[in-house]
Structure 1
Amino acid sequence: MRILKSSFVLLLILSFSATYAQYTEVINSNRPGVSESAFSVGTGVVQFEAGAFAVSEEHALANYEVSGFGLDFAIRYGLLFEQLELQLDGVYQNDTQTFTGTNIPTKNPRSNFRNFTIGAKYLVYDPYKNAEEAKPNIYSYHANRAFNWKSLIPAVSVFAGANIDSKANPYTAFGVEGVSPKIMLATQNNFNGGWVFVMNFIKDRIGTNQSDFQYILTLTHSFTPQWVVFGETQGIQSDFYADNIFRFGGAYLWTKDFQLDANIAFNTKDTPSIFNIAFGASYRLDFHKDKEIDNGTSAKDSKGDKRKKKKKKKKEDDFDS
Structure 2
Amino acid sequence: MKSIKISLIFLIFTFTNFAVAQYTEVINSNRPGVSQSAFSVGTNVLQFEAGPYLLKEEHSLLNYEVSGFGADFAARYGLLFEELELNIQGTYQNDTQTYNSSGTPTEYDRGNFKNLTIGAKYMIYDPYRKAGEEKPNLYSWKANRQFKWKSLIPAVAIYAGANFDTKDNPYTAPGIEGFSPKVALISQNNFVGGWVFVINLIADRIGTDQSDYQYIFTLTHSFNPKWAVFGEAQGIISDFYADELFRFGGAYLWNKNFQLDTALTFNTKDTPSVLGVNFGMSYRFDFHKDKEIDNGIPARDELRMQERDIQRKKETDFNSNGNF
TM-score by length of 1: 0.84
Q: Indicate yes or no: 2:256 matched with 1:256.
A: yes
- Contact residue 90 and residue 116 of structure 2 kept, 8 A: yes
- 1:115-152 Cα distance to aligned partner (Å, 9 max, x none): 00000000000000001455432212442343100000
Q: Give percent identity, aligned residues only.
A: 71
Give the Cα separation in 1 of the matches to 2:38 and 2:142. Answer: 30
Q: One-letter code of the match for 1:41?
A: V
Structure 1, unmatched stretches of 5+, are 1-19, 297-321
Residue 305 of structure 2 aligns with which residue? Answer: none
What residue identity is the alignment partner of 1:278?
N
The answer as to whether partners of 2:21 and 2:123 remain within 8 angstroms in 1 is no
2:167 matched to 1:167?
A: yes
Alignment of 1:82 onto 2:91: no
Distance 1:28 1:146 in 2: 24
The aligned counterpart of 2:302 is: none
1:49-128 to structure 2, matched below 5 A, reads 49-128=49-128
Counterparts of 1:166 and 1:134, CA distance in 2 = 51
Alpha-carbon distance in structure 2 between the residues aligned to 1:133 and 1:216 = 33
Cα deviation per residue 1:19-55 (whole Å; 9 max; x = unaligned)?
x942111001000100000000000100000010001
Q: CA deviation at 1:101?
A: 1.1
> Which residue pairs with 1:201 in the alignment?
201
Distance 2:233 2:81 in 1: 31
- Tell me what 2:37 maps to: 37
2:147 corresponds to which residue?
A: 147
Contact 2:21 2:40 in 1 (8 A): no
Structure 2 residue matching 1:151: 3-state secondary structure: helix
C-alpha distance in 2 between matches for 1:176 and 1:50: 26
Q: Is the 8 A contact 2:21 2:83 kept in 1?
A: no
Task: Name the CA shift for 1:207/1:184 in 2 (closer, same or farther; >3 Å).
Answer: same
| C-alpha distance in structure 2 between counterparts of 1:201 and 1:186, whole Å | 7
Distance 2:149 2:64 in 1: 50
Q: Which residue of the partner structure matches residue 272 of structure 2?
A: 272
SS in 2 for 1:28: coil
> What amino acid maps onto 2:79 in structure 1?
L
SS of equivalent residue, structure 1 residue 93: strand
In 1, Cα distance between equivalents of 2:25 and 2:107: 49
Distance 2:62 2:76 in 1: 39
Instruction: Rate the CA distance shift 1:40–1:240 in 2: closer, same or farther, 3 A.
Output: same
Number of residues paired by the alignment? 277
Q: Select between 130-139 and 105-114 the one with higher mean Cα deviation.
A: 130-139
Secondary structure of 1:193 counterpart: coil
Q: Which residue of structure 2 aligns with residue 235 of structure 1?
A: 235
* Letter aligned with residue 41 of structure 2: V
Note the C-alpha offset of 1:98: 0.1
Q: Aligned partners of 2:156 and 2:169: how far apart in 1?
A: 34
The aligned amino acid for 2:149 is W
One-letter amino acid of the counterpart of residue 260, structure 1:
L
User: CA-to-partner distance for each residue in 1:215-274, whole Å, 9 max, x for gaps?
Assistant: 000000000100000000000001111000000000000010000000000000000000
Q: C-alpha separation between the residues in 1 aligned to 2:242 and 2:169? A: 18
Residue 279 of structure 1 aligns with an amino acid whose one-letter code is F
The separation in 2 between residues aligned to 1:31 and 1:67, in whole angstroms, is 23
8 Å CA contact 2:235, 2:245 repeated in 1:
yes
Q: Report SS of the residue matched to 2:150.
A: helix
Partner residue in 2 for 1:188:
188
Which amino acid in structure 2 is aligned with residue 287 of structure 1? F
Report SS of the residue matched to 1:220: strand
1:287-306 aligned at under 5 Å gives the runs: 287-293=287-293
CA distance in 2: counterparts of 1:152 and 1:119, whole angstroms: 28
Q: Per the alignment, in what secondary structure is the counterpart of residue 39 of structure 1?
A: coil
Distance 1:133 1:245 in 2: 41
3-state secondary structure, aligned to 1:80: coil
> Deviations 1:145-179 (Å, cap 9, x if unpaired)?
43100000000000000000000000001111100
Query: Over the residues paired in the alignment, what is the CA RMSD in angstroms?
Result: 1.4
Structure 2, unpaired ranges of 5+: 1-19, 297-324
